[in-house]
Amino acid sequence: MRRAGFLTLAGRMAHRTSRGRAVLAAITVPLLIAAGLTATPTASASAPSTTTGDRSTPSRAEAHAALVRAQAALAGHGPARGGPASRDATMALLDLVKVRSSLTGADRAAAAKAVARPNLAHAACTASNCYHWDTSGSDAVPATDNDADGIPDYVESVAATVDDVRSTYAGAGYRTPEPDGSLGGNSQTDIYLADVGDQGLYGYCTSDKTFPNPPPSYDAWAYCVLDNDYSPSQFPTNTPLENLQVTAAHEYFHAVQFAYDLFEDHWFMEATATWAEDELYDDVNDNLQYLVDSPLALPGQPVDTFSNGAGPQYGEWIFFRFLTEHLPAASGGMPTIVRDMWERADGASGGPDDYSMLAVQNALAARSVSLVNAFTSFAAANRMPGLNYDEGAANNYPVASPAGTIKLSSSKKDSKWLYAKVDHMAAATARFVPGSGLSAKTWKLKVSVDLTPKSTDTTAVITVARKSGGPQVMVVPINTSGDGSKKVSFGSSGVKYVEVTLVNAGTRYSCWNGGPFSCQGTSKDDGRKLQVRAQVTK
Q: Coil, strand, or helix at residue 399? A: coil
% of the chain beyond a pLDDT of 70: 87
Mean pLDDT of 333-360: 98
The pLDDT of residue 232 is above 60: yes
Mean pLDDT of 96-101: 94
Which is nearest to 31 in space by CA: 524, 506, 511? 506
Question: Are 529 and 436 spatial neighbours (Cβ–Cβ below 8 Å)?
Answer: no
How would you class 349 by CB atoms within 10 Å of its CB: exposed for 0-12, middle for 13-18, buried for 19 or more? exposed
- Per DSSP, the residues of 238-299 read S-HHHHHHHHHHHHHHHHHHHHHHTTS-HHHHHHHHHHHHHHHBTTT-GGGGGGGGSTTT-T
Q: Coil, strand, or helix at residue 11? A: coil
The pLDDT of residue 79 is above 80: no
How far apart are the C-alpha atoms of 184 and 204, rounded to whole Å?
Answer: 16
The pLDDT of residue 335 is above 70: yes
Phi first, then psi: what are they for 293, rounded to 5°? -120, 40
Q: Indicate the average pLDDT of the chain.
A: 89
The pLDDT of residue 357 is above 60: yes
State how far the alpha carbon of 28 is from the alpha carbons of 304, 320, 378, 464, 503, in Å: 13, 11, 4, 19, 8
Q: What is the pLDDT of residue 1?
A: 30
pLDDT in tens, 238-281: 999 999 999 999 999 999 999 999 999 999 999 999 999 999 99
Q: b/e for 487-514, b at 16 or more Cβ within 10 A?
A: ebbbbbebbebbbbbbbbbbbbbbbbee
pLDDT in tens, 196-207: 999 999 999 999
With cut-offs at 50, 70 and 90, classify the pLDDT of residue 510: very high
Q: What is the pLDDT of residue 65?
A: 93
Q: What is the pLDDT of residue 9?
A: 30
Higher pLDDT: 523 or 17? It is 523
Neighbours of 474 (CB within 10 A): 16
Q: Coil, strand, or helix at residue 118? A: coil
The pLDDT of residue 22 is above 70: no
CA 487 to chain centre: 36
Question: Are 221 and 177 spatial neighbours (Cβ–Cβ below 8 Å)?
Answer: yes
pLDDT in tens, 156-195: 999 999 999 999 999 999 999 999 999 999 999 999 999 9
pLDDT in tens, 106-115: 999 999 999 9
Q: Coil, strand, or helix at residue 459? A: strand
Q: Full-prediction pTM beyond 0.85? A: yes
Q: What is the pLDDT of residue 41?
A: 32
Q: What is the pLDDT of residue 35?
A: 30
pLDDT in tens, 441-490: 999 999 999 999 877 799 999 999 999 999 999 999 999 999 999 999 99
Q: What is the pLDDT of residue 54?
A: 58
Which is nearest to 447 in space by CA: 406, 410, 403? 406
Which is nearest to 245 in space by CA: 282, 270, 205? 282
HSE-up of residue 469 (Cα within 13 Å, Cβ side): 8
HSE-up of residue 413 (Cα within 13 Å, Cβ side): 13
With cut-offs at 50, 70 and 90, classify the pLDDT of residue 55: low
CA 215 to chain centre: 26
Question: Are 116 and 208 spatial neighbours (Cβ–Cβ below 8 Å)?
Answer: yes
